[in-house]
Amino acid sequence: MGQVDETNPEPAELLSRCFDILDAFCRGPAEKLTLADITRRTSLPKSTAHRLLASLVSLGALERTGPAYQLGLRMFEIGEHVTRKRDLREAALPFMEDLYEVTHQTVHLAVLDGTEVLYIERIQGHQKQRQLASRVGGRLPAYSTGVGKALLAFNPQTAAQIIKTGRLQARTPYTITNPKLLLEELAATRKTLLAFDRDENALGIHCVATPILANNQAVAAISVTGPANTIQEERIGSAIRTAALGIERTLGTNPPT
């Protein structure tokens, strides 16, 4: 296999590198990245990254603010046309707002993407929750989150893949890293349609989640998240199941895939 020509890459290779740069903005909490940040996250040569960054800025995919770069409005505009995100969000948002009014806690809507959850909507709770790692467009490991467990319970092949590849890494001392215990939780979720995160993703934060089902498949999940001492699991569990049923009825028999 020959060496890739850095000065004249193939179109597919060039496109892949551009996506690597855009993906770098999804790999951490920082919304602005310097050239050094991007080369570290992508492993691209500095000269290559600099050249591609200039092209992405000229296309409106990125914006430059001083020495840093951030995603441009063009990416926001394109993202708003993603059918799956738009349809799920439009169906779920009224019920998420109801949950927020009932709980005054943070409400999430997420989908499974590979072995991670991708957050596509969030309504922030009243209390400041700096410990929350979730953000719209952000990702977290499915096994350590309430929404993730709700989704994995109805995606056994993905759950098996996570366990087989040994990806149950502790995020806190309370993260479930024992495959047997995780499978037991997922089995319980299939029966009760409720999943829990108790200090597993962030200390002091609890979460109650439920899947949004279509044809016995989880197309998304919603959750209520907040400080551990404010999460009343039984009350919230009943409320989110009611919300999920409403979303399922709204999506009907042809949910987004």
Residue 196 has, within 13 A of its CA and on its CB side, a CA count of: 16
pLDDT in tens, 112-135: 988 999 899 999 876 555 556 667
Q: Give me the mean pLDDT over the 43-56 stretch.
A: 89
Pairing of strands 68-71, 205-214: unpaired
Q: Give me the mean pLDDT over the 89-106 stretch.
A: 92
Q: Is the pLDDT of residue 89 over 70?
A: yes
pLDDT in tens, 145-202: 999 999 999 999 999 999 888 779 999 999 999 999 999 999 999 999 999 999 999 9
| Number of CB atoms found within 10 A of residue 30's CB | 13
Domains of the chain: 11-78 (1.10.10.10), 82-251 (3.30.450.40)
**Residue 33 pLDDT class (50, 70, 90 cuts):** confident
More confident: 104 or 1: 104
